């Protein structure tokens, strides 16, 4: 699709993921806007917009990945600065939406933090949110502004199709909650489907129970939207291997990897982790036994930004069952 850069569009970024922001800017064909995002001596975030943005359509690229609190505050402060500089519209480009797992009261006297974060985003003056693979799709309902929810599957599926060494394979959900996402992979890639029933011991420990489906003598692709400690993935991989699977791979949109995750993956049955750059991955160099492949999502987000700016449909980018 032909696109002529419109001077009325401005792209800004905080410090969360400058490499992704630059990739998006390169695809759109515009430079990143001139903004100073620094910190005062006491740690408070300081923002200054160094160019005229009055009447402009502004996109702020800032995933709220770790450190989540810091990156969220940068986004909110950037949005307030842009709003007070009289931008016409502000879109928060949040490839990764932090706090998404705190979306309900699963115990007495706990907050629904995802809703609180949505309220803060709206209160800061943001008019629209662009995000990728929300942990729960119903999070869109927490916002009183439009939410464009994209899927990383088209990016991941193209790569997986090109990997002849583990095709054919079986798509396996590491837990029941991810079954719908895994079913989309299976339908798109025309492969079989299975799922793991699990019981979580704590926020860092998972004990898998059983596989629904036959993985014997098949390569397996574990599918998930997010991993932080890799407990779910590695326990599912161990179960798949014990059930007769040949090689085990994993495809995860958001690899928010802790030290515990790296340690577990290196010791696990997972041969390779395939992910995207929705979040920075400084721990990638630590992998030796378990390979890691990071795919760029810049073009997908850049295309969505161009269409939003041009008031064009972005529904085709939502499709997860096509090429």
pLDDT on residue 207: 54
The 10s digit of each residue's pLDDT in 190-203 is 999 999 986 666 66
Question: pLDDT (tens digit, 9 = 90+) per residue, 262-306?
Answer: 999 999 999 999 999 999 999 999 999 999 999 999 999 999 999
Q: Which one from 105, 115, 180, 198 is the annotated catalytic residue? A: 198
pLDDT digits (tens, 9 = 90+) for 180-191: 999 999 999 999
Domain boundaries, the chain: 9-150+298-318, 153-295
- Tokens 């995933």 -> residue: 63
Q: What is the mean pLDDT of the chain?
A: 92
283: annotated active-site residue: no
| Section 164-177 average pLDDT | 88
How far, in Å, are 32, 34, 305, 309 from residue 10 at the CA level? 7, 10, 11, 10
CA 76 to chain centre: 19
- Report, as an integer, the average pLDDT of 113-117: 96
Q: Give the pTM.
A: 0.91
Tokens of 19: 């490499």
pLDDT of residue 176: 82
What are the tens digits of pLDDT across the range 225-242? Answer: 999 999 989 999 999 999
Is the model more confident about 18 or about 165? 18
Supply the pLDDT for residue 322.
Answer: 46
Yes or no: is domain 153-295 CATH 3.30.470.30?
no
The answer to whether 175 and 218 have CB atoms below 8 angstroms apart is: no
Mean pLDDT along residues 237-248: 95
Under DSSP, the state recorded for 11 is: E
Cβ contacts of 281 within 8 Å, gap of 6 or more: 255, 257, 275, 292, 294
Q: How far is CA 264 from CA 126, 207, 321, in A?
A: 38, 14, 32
| Tokens 């998930």 -> residue | 224
Distance CA 61, CA 35 (A): 12
**Domain boundaries 9-150+298-318, CATH class:** alpha beta
Cα-based angle 265, 281, 77 (whole degrees, multiple of 5):
135
Average pLDDT of span 72-101: 97
Mean per-residue pLDDT for 75-88?
98
8 Å CB contact between 238 and 268: yes
């Amino acid at each position: 699709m032909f696109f002529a850069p419109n001077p009325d569009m401005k792209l800004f970024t905080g410090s969360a993921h400058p490499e992704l922001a630059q990739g998006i800017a390169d695809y759109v064909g515009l430079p990143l806007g001139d903004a100073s995002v620094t910190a005062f001596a006491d740690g408070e975030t300081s923002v200054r917009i160094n160019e005229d943005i009055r009447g402009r359509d502004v996109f702020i690229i800032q995933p709220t990945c770790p450190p989540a609190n810091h990156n969220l505050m940068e986004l909110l402060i950037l949005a307030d600065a842009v709003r007070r500089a009289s931008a016409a519209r502000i879109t928060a480009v949040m490839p990764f939406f932090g706090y998404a797992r705190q979306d309900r009261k699963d115990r007495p006297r706990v907050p629904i933090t995802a809703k609180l974060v949505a309220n803060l985003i709206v209160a800061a003056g943001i008019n629209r949110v662009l995000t990728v693979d929300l942990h729960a799709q119903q999070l869109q309902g927490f916002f009183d502004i439009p939410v464009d929810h994209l899927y990383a599957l088209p990016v991941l599926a193209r790569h997986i199709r090109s990997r002849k060494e583990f095709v054919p394979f079986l798509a396996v959900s590491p837990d029941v909650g991810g079954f719908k996402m895994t079913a989309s992979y299976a339908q798109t890639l025309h492969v079989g489907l299975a799922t793991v029933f699990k019981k979580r011991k704590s926020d860092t420990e998972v004990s898998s129970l059983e596989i629904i489906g036959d993985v014997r003598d098949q390569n397996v692709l574990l599918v998930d939207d997010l991993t932080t400690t890799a407990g779910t993935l590695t326990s599912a991989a161990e179960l798949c291997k014990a059930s007769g699977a040949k090689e085990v791979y994993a495809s995860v949109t958001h690899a928010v990897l802790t030290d515990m995750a790296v340690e577990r993956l290196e010791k696990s049955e997972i041969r390779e982790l395939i992910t995207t750059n929705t979040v920075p991955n400084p721990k990638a160099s630590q992998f030796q036994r378990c390979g890691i492949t990071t795919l760029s999502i810049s073009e997908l987000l850049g295309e969505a930004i161009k269409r939003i700016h041009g008031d064009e449909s972005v529904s085709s980018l939502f499709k997860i069952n096509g090429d």
